[in-house]
Amino acid sequence: MNMERFQESMYDLIVETSTNLPKDVRRAIKAAKAKESAGTRSAMSLATITNNISMADEKVSPICQDTGLPTFKIKTPVGVNQLQIKEAIKNAIALATKNSKLRPNSVDSLTGENSGDNLGGGTPVIKFDQWEEDYIDVRLILKGGGCENKNIQYSLPAELDGLGRAGRDLDGIRKCIMHSVYQAQGQGCSAGFIGVGIGGDRSSGYDLAKEQLFRSVDDVNPNEDLSKLEDYIVEHANELGIGTMGFGGETTLLGCKIGVMNRIPASFFVSVAYNCWAYRRLGVAVNPETGVINDWMYQEGEKIDFASETEKETAASAETEQNVVTLQAPITEEQIRELKVGDVVKINGRMYTGRDAIHHHLMENDAPVDLNGQVIYHCGPVMMKDDEGGWHVKAAGPTTSIREEPYQGDIMKKFGIRAVIGKGGMGPKTLKALEEHGGVYLNAIGGAAQYYADCIKAVEGVDLMNFGIPEAMWHLKVEGFTAVVTMDSHGNSLHKDVDKSSLEKLAQFKERVY
């Protein structure tokens, strides 16, 4: 095989997967958008999401800044050199990272050092099978950390919140899957997709669940029982009221795919792989002699163009019907105390990124800048350095905030921080600190990395680059950075309210169905 051309094909696959949402996923998002009532938080979120998709198309830039752990599933004819394929893929991954199509995401688990090129022990993931066809089938999924962290595995029998006992049968499996959607809330960037693996051991069960995410949204399960269960889950999960980003609404789940394998008598696992709305997976059929792409997968049918005037008008109307408050950083406590859950906020001025490494660092060290009255953005951006040494933001959506729960309240009070932006909400410790200190939590739209990158007008500095690009503290000048107040300084939390109401709705599915 021409390995140089094969490497180019793999680079094209990586770029397309990161920047161009598949047609089947676009159709699912459009259908969800049509169900939401105009002027709601969910409608605004879906308008932002579709706007973001079109911006990624136009700029050929990452849909979401978290380009995840690249996972390849490859089938090769007998006789094809899999070692050469693996080497070509690694070269393509490194080049895509250099060109800011992927974020450098490979971190040493012991030292925390970022390799900078997405290569390292276990990254990327490449899995091979042989088959009797005469072409190479290469499929790639980019699954970010926010949705990966909402994966869950059940060992049956089990007691489940809201649903009671789940036994070792199809009805117990049903309860586990419904519970998996409830527990994800908005932290996995709903509305999402799930892959389910029934059986196996702990590791093969998760592999089977993730494998289901390589199926088309539109396909039909050949197992009649599982096909009916897939339909049941999509219908009834959308009755939980979790909604887009966990803001409440009509659509929580966009697709469910279930696979089954044998198990040993002592173990009965139900494994669920959760995927966000930014469902980035594509596939190609490659000629094993030339290395050229012969065909693309998941691209049947017409491509929905979200950049149409209708979509732009919908986005504008959804936003203008909200109560919009403009804030200029630094922000006073008085301004924060005036905000309430449900307000839409537009921020102008300076904000600072801060993720896991920054929060851990600030607990025991001084801040490199004066953070009094300032805004911290839970974000690990995709950055590009120009020939003059200047930095440019290529993608900058929010990361899942709950990871910072052990630190956030203490850091806000220690440094006088007034606002935190992220996604998925935070817990009781942070909520209490917001009330005591006079702070606010703002939920940005997860995955909308191009939409928010467009709000960033300049990179004015960076600190703590020793933590790596995603974990450094970037100083960003922003205009019109839009987010929703979901935790205010009066003890109110939309996340707590939606969790409570969705748990109550989950309980209606307690009775046996199968």
- The pLDDT tens digits of the residues spanning 203-215 come to 999 999 999 999 9
Among the residues of 117-257, which ranges form H helices? 145-148, 170-184, 202-212, 224-237
pLDDT at 322 (0 to 100) = 55
The two counts, helices (H) then strands (E), for the chain are: 15, 20
Are 291 and 9 in contact, with CB atoms under 8 Å apart? yes
Residue ranges of domains in the chain, CATH in brackets:
1-144+281-321 (no CATH), 145-275 (no CATH), 323-495 (3.20.130.10)
Q: At what angle do helices 3-19 and 82-98 cross, to 10 degrees?
A: 50
Q: What's the CA gap between 487 and 507, in Å, rounded? A: 26
pLDDT at 35 (0 to 100) = 87
The DSSP H or E segment spanning 487 is strand 473-487
User: What is the CB neighbour count within 10 angstroms for residue 513?
Assistant: 11
Q: What's the CA gap between 414 and 362, in Å, rounded? A: 9
Q: What's the CA gap between 128 and 76, in Å, rounded? A: 7
Under 8 Å CB-to-CB from 179, ≥6 apart: which residues? Answer: 154, 160, 161, 162, 163, 166, 506
pLDDT at 306 (0 to 100) = 87
Best CA proximity match to 235, nearest among 215, 249, 252, 218? 252
pLDDT at 320 (0 to 100) = 47
Are 476 and 351 in contact, with CB atoms under 8 Å apart? yes
Are 257 and 250 in contact, with CB atoms under 8 Å apart? no
Token pair, residue 79, equals: 């006789």
Under 8 Å CB-to-CB from 313, ≥6 apart: which residues? Answer: none
pLDDT at 321 (0 to 100) = 47
Are 48 and 445 in contact, with CB atoms under 8 Å apart? yes
Under 8 Å CB-to-CB from 428, ≥6 apart: which residues? Answer: none
The alpha carbon of 90 is separated from its chain's Cα centroid by a whole number of angstroms, namely 23
Phi-psi region of 325 (alpha: psi -120 to 50; beta: other; left: phi over 0): beta
Sole residue written with tokens 């205009």: 479
pLDDT at 313 (0 to 100) = 47
Q: What's the CA gap between 68 and 276, in Å, rounded? A: 11
Considering the entire predicted model, what is its pTM?
0.93
pLDDT at 227 (0 to 100) = 98
The answer to whether the bond into 22 is cis (omega within 30° of 0) is: no
Q: What's the CA gap between 226 and 514, in Å, rounded? A: 12
Determine whether 59 is exposed, middle or buried from the number of CB atoms within 10 Å of its CB (0-12, 13-18, 19+): middle
pLDDT at 309 (0 to 100) = 45
Mark 261-276 as b/e (b = at least 16 C-beta within 10 Å). Answer: eebeeeebbbbbbbbb
**What is the DSSP code (8-state) at residue 400?**
B
Token pair, residue 281, equals: 């997976």
Among the residues of 365-493, which ranges form H helices? 408-415, 428-437, 449-455
Q: At what angle do helices 224-237 and 170-184 cross, to 10 degrees?
A: 30
Token pair, residue 362, equals: 């600030």
**What is the DSSP code (8-state) at residue 414?**
H
Low-confidence ranges of the chain (pLDDT < 50): 309-310, 313-321
Specify the 3-state DSSP secondary structure of 318.
helix
Strand segments (E) across 298-429: 324-328, 344-353, 375-377, 382-385, 391-395, 419-422
Q: What's the CA gap between 245 and 430, in Å, rounded? A: 19
pLDDT at 430 (0 to 100) = 97
Are 432 and 488 in contact, with CB atoms under 8 Å apart? no
